Amino acid sequence: MEKITISLIKADVGGYPGHSSVHPRLMEVADDSLQKAKKDGLLIDFKILAAGDDLQLLMSHRKGTDNEKIHKLAWKTFEKATKMAKELKLYGAGQDLLKDAFSGNVRGMGPGVAEMEFKEREGEPLIAFMMDKTEPGAFNLPIFRIFADPFNTAGLIIDPSLHNGFKFEIFDVIKHRKVLMESPEEMYDMLALIGAKSRYVIKSVYPKKNPKVPEEETVAAISTEKLYQIAGKYVGKDDPVALVRAQSGLPALGEVLEPFSFPYLVSGWMRGSHNGPMMPVSFKDARCTRFDGPPRVIAAGFQIAEGRLVGPVDLFDDPAFDQAREKAGEIADYMRRHGPFEPHRLPMQEMEYTTLPSILENLEDRFADV
Ligand code: F6R
Ligand code: MG
Ligand code: MG
């Protein structure tokens, strides 16, 4: 059977109000645009979703990853949504469309991209994760736990298909280079890198000697676009997305969701300048309010049927995650009480990419030698 490609492409093209959520009209405009592409046969299926102020286009097709037609469709769709955002005077209309003209691929133009191509299995569960008010490295901890931590994923010990572990492709987003590492053999070296989540970002995960899934097939893909590097100045955080396949020789759905029961700290939140807890929420609660957050993640679950996206199931809309949300609320309180002090506010090195340096510059001539 022909391979299927899943593309999740997202952009903030205007918030409502402020940077909190996506206006329903933008979702309608995006729906019309992709509906047309589906009729024309470019897409097999699609879903329009929203996380915080980010408009999310989840598409299935047979064109492969980095396909010009698919990327152009996403770009044009964001342009149409931007037009509507301007009409409604939504906040920061067109914010993530950093380049004027499309040039073959949306990577490096502002939108975030997670894509994977694979042969659809007998049963093919897919989870699309979408985060707001944080950066791509926010996926390091959960992706590591899903595919490498036996205290999270029982299958790594119990299931012979998972027992050989996984390969992780890690991007150095500062030096623009990448490295492929194997778990469990290189787990400690891998953690030495990905623990520094603002620099080393897991880009994709591959199976290893897995009898059920071919080695070259991606089983998890994470967006790694860094907006400030494209724009050359602070233009908001990157609000990453990820696609994860599950079951039958891969981590079970519940093993994929389990890391989010712990509201771990990520950077982002207010003005992209603060550490705060990652709160798993339902679609309807994917609105960033308190101090423009706290950072949130939604999970949309699907079964794929000949490319059709059967779903979504709103996976964090479940009392099993109430405790994580409550804990996230407590952590938010605790962190907030630090006000402008580190480690609530990000360390100086990361503040370089915000508007703080312009404030500090004004103080330069006040300093005397000691
Ligand atoms: C964080 C974010 C918001 C804004 C903040 C100020 O990623 O988008 O917290 O940084 O609301 O926004 P402006 O400068 O647009 O008023
Ligand atoms: Mg915004
Ligand atoms: Mg956002």
Pairing outcome for strands 200-207 and 45-51 = unpaired
- Answer yes or no: 12 catalytic: yes
Q: Is residue 369 part of a domain?
A: no
pLDDT of residue 195: 98
User: Per the domain annotation, does 114 fall within a domain?
Assistant: yes
Query: Is 356 part of any domain?
Result: no
**CA–centroid distance, residue 92 to ligand 2 (Å):** 6
Q: pLDDT tens digits for 184-239?
A: 999 999 999 999 999 999 999 999 999 999 999 999 999 987 777 777 777 767 89
pLDDT at position 255 is 98
CA–CA distance, 89 with 352 (Å, rounded to integer): 30
Name the average pLDDT for the chain. 96
Q: Which pLDDT does position 1 carry in this prediction? A: 67
* Bond before 280 cis per omega within 30 degrees: no
User: Which pLDDT score, from 0 to 100, does residue 191 have?
Assistant: 98
Contacts of 265 (CB under 8 A, 6+ apart): 275, 276, 277, 278, 331, 335
- Domain presence at residue 364: no
**Residue among 16, 234, 292, 314 flagged as catalytic:** 234
Residue 367 counted as domain residue: no
In a domain? residue 365: no
Nearest atom, ligand 1, residue 292 CA: 9
Which residues in the chain show pLDDT less than 50? none
Q: Is the pTM of this model over 0.95?
A: yes
Residue 360 covered by a domain: no
- Using one digit for the tens of pLDDT, what is the confidence trace for 139-185? 999 999 999 999 999 999 999 999 999 999 999 988 989 999 999 99
Q: Which domain holds residue 33?
A: 4-350
Q: Report how many domains make up the chain.
A: 1
Tell me if 220 is assigned to some domain.
yes
Among 292, 346, 354, 355, residue to substitute to test ligand 1 (most atoms within 8 Å of Cβ):
292
